[in-house]
Chain A
């Protein structure tokens, strides 16, 4: 069964840092680009970042560019999102989501993990 499981969320003060992880199983992670998508409480979906299968291509939403970095370790079947200079408006459930194989950029998101909540508050 294809599965994605996020971890690392929690409460952090404005200006702080947090590292999210996404553990993949049931498929060969190295064959797929991966994404982070977030959803603020009661709000819609916002794409955050994409990393290609080889890590050659990385893309970010303007709202997080320069503050967030994305990485992956295909040997450990894991995806990461390093978040720094966190702001109150970064508060959201963060999902990792698989893209379709063969694409060097983000396309569709399938499947998604269950999400991990990041709360930025003083």
Chain B
């Protein structure tokens, strides 16, 4: 199975900060990497697909980059409504696997 390692596991930042989360795959997965946001008590929501493509309707402050084994997810200017847990997910090989999640809090 491909292991997805997210870093950090939790993060505290101030409104307006630039925030970056990384995801490392245990083997190359090309750009078959998606990012999700999950707010407490809610289902996850797709934000970025294929490493760098912004899902329709998602604010442009969210972005993704990377290919192969190293990927990054960035919020350019943190907003209060961005408080959530973020997950990466690979679909290059079965089984589909997710990162362990990054819990983002407001400082």
Tell me the A residues contacting B by CB distance below 8 Å.
44-47, 50, 59, 61-62, 95, 100, 105-115
- B44 adjacent to chain A (CB < 8 Å): yes
> A109 touching B44 by the CB < 8 A rule?
yes
B96 surroundings in chain A (CB, below 8 A):
47, 50, 106
How many of chain B's residues have a CB under 8 angstroms from any CB in A? Answer: 21
Across the two chains, which residue of chain B brings its CB closest to A112? Answer: B43
A23 → chain B closest CB, angstroms = 15
B64 on the A face (CB < 8 A): no
CA distance A39 to B98 in the complex (A): 11
Whether the Cβ atoms of B91 and A107 lie closer than 8 Å is yes
User: Which residues of B lie under 8 Å from residue A59 when comparing CB positions?
Assistant: 94-95
Shortest CB-to-CB span from B39 to chain A, Å, is 12
Q: Is the CB of A45 within 8 A of B98?
A: yes
A112–B45 Cα distance when bound, in Å, is 7
CB contacts (< 8 Å) of A107 on chain B: these are 32, 91
CB distance A62 to B98 under 8 Å?
no
Q: Which residues of B contact A45 (CB under 8 A)?
A: 36, 44, 87, 89, 98, 101
Chain B min CB distance to A1 (Å): 13
Q: Which residues of A contact B3 (CB under 8 A)?
A: none
Say yes or no: is B30 at the interface (Cβ < 8 Å to chain A): no
CB of B7 to closest CB in A, whole Å: 14
A-B contact pairs, 15 of them (CB 8 A): A44-B87, A44-B98, A44-B101, A45-B36, A47-B97, A62-B95, A95-B44, A100-B49, A106-B94, A107-B91, A109-B36, A110-B46, A110-B49, A110-B55, A112-B43
A44, B23: Cα distance in complex, Å:
15
A108 to B89, CA, bound (A): 8
Q: How far is the CB of B99 from chain A (nearest CB, A)?
A: 8
